[in-house]
Amino acid sequence: AEAQLRQVQKMEAVGQLTGGIAHDFNNMLAVVVGGIDLARRRLNGPRREVMTHLTNAMEGATRAAALTRRLLSFARSEPLLPERLDTAILVGGMSELLDRTLGERIKVKTELANDAWPVFVDPHQLENAILNLAVNARDAMDGTGKLTIRSRNVTMDSNAVGDIRAGEYLVIEVSDTGCGMTPEVKERAFEPFFTTKAVGKGTGLGLSQIFGFAHQSGGEVGIESTVGKGTTVSIYLPRTDAQASNVRAHPAMQARAED
C-alpha cells in the first residue's frame, strides 16, 4: 500500500505538470521539425543557410531535453511520509536556517499559536514549503523588509479558500513586505514552471510544489497579495485528532491510494 501510495503521488505530480509544459514542449518540437524541414528543402542551396536551420533545430532539441530533465527530477521528488506534528516545534527549529537565508537586512518574526492543533504531514515537505516561501519573500523584498511566519487554528467553510473542505485547520501564513504580485502573476503563480525570475534564478516550481503538498495532505494553499505592499501565502493543514497515532495515514491520502 505504501509503494502504491507513492506511485499515485508521483503520477499526480506528473499529471499536474503535463498541462503546464505540454504547450512549451510542443513549441520546442515545432522549432526542431521546422529547422530540419527547411534544411532538407535547402540541401542544394548555400551551405551556411543549411547550417543555420540545423543549428536552430539543435537548439530547440536541447531546450526540450532540458525541460524533460526538469520534469523528471520533479516527478522523482520525495514521497510524502506523514507523521503527527507540532508545527510550532518545526518552525522554531528553522529559525537559524531562516535567518541565514534571509540575510541581516530582513527581519524575521514568528507569531505561533501556542495551542496550535497538531497536523499529520510530512515534516520535510513542510520545512521545504516554508523555506521556499521564505526564499520567494526574500526575492520579492529586494534586500530589506520583514518576513512574518504566523500560525493559527481556523475553522473553514467549504471552498472559503480554493477547494478547501469544511473543517478545522492549522494555517501557517508566511507574509512579506515585498513587491507583491499583479493579478496576472497571482493567477498563474501555482502553475509548474511559471516564473517571472531571470533564467537560472527561478524554476517556477516552488509554489506548484507547495500546492501539491497541501492538496496531498488534505489541505489547501491561498495567496493574498497587493502590488507594492506585500504578499501572504497561507498553507492550510487539516487538524489531526489528538489520539491519532503516527502509523495511520491521513484519510485523504488513504482514499487516494485506494482509488
Chain contacts with ligand ADP (rule: CB under 6 A): 136-137, 140, 176, 178-181, 185, 189, 194-197, 202-208, 231
Cβ nearer to ligand ADP, comparing 56 with 110:
110
Cβ nearer to ligand ADP, comparing 204 with 212:
204
Cβ nearer to ligand ADP, comparing 87 with 136:
136
Task: State which residue has the least CB distance to ligand ADP.
Answer: 206
How far is residue 218 from each of residues 38, 146, 182, 198, 211, measured CA to CA in Å?
Answer: 51, 30, 28, 33, 11
Provide, rounded to whole angstroms, the least separation between the CB of residue 113 and ligand ADP.
Answer: 22
Provide, rounded to whole angstroms, the least separation between the CB of residue 32 and ligand ADP.
Answer: 26
Produce one character per residue of 31-66: b if its CB has 16 or more CB atoms within 10 Å, e if not.
bbeebbebbeeeeeeeeeebeebeebbeebbeebee
**CA within 13 Å, CB half, 97:** 13
**CA within 13 Å, CB half, 213:** 31
Cβ nearer to ligand ADP, comparing 208 with 234:
208
Cβ nearer to ligand ADP, comparing 204 with 238:
204
Provide, rounded to whole angstroms, the least separation between the CB of residue 152 and ligand ADP.
Answer: 19
Task: For residues 168 and 152, give the distance between their C-alpha atoms in angstroms, rounded to a whole number.
Answer: 11
Provide, rounded to whole angstroms, the least separation between the CB of residue 26 and ligand ADP.
Answer: 22
Task: For residues 170 and 153, give the distance between their C-alpha atoms in angstroms, rounded to a whole number.
Answer: 5
Provide, rounded to whole angstroms, the least separation between the CB of residue 75 and ligand ADP.
Answer: 16
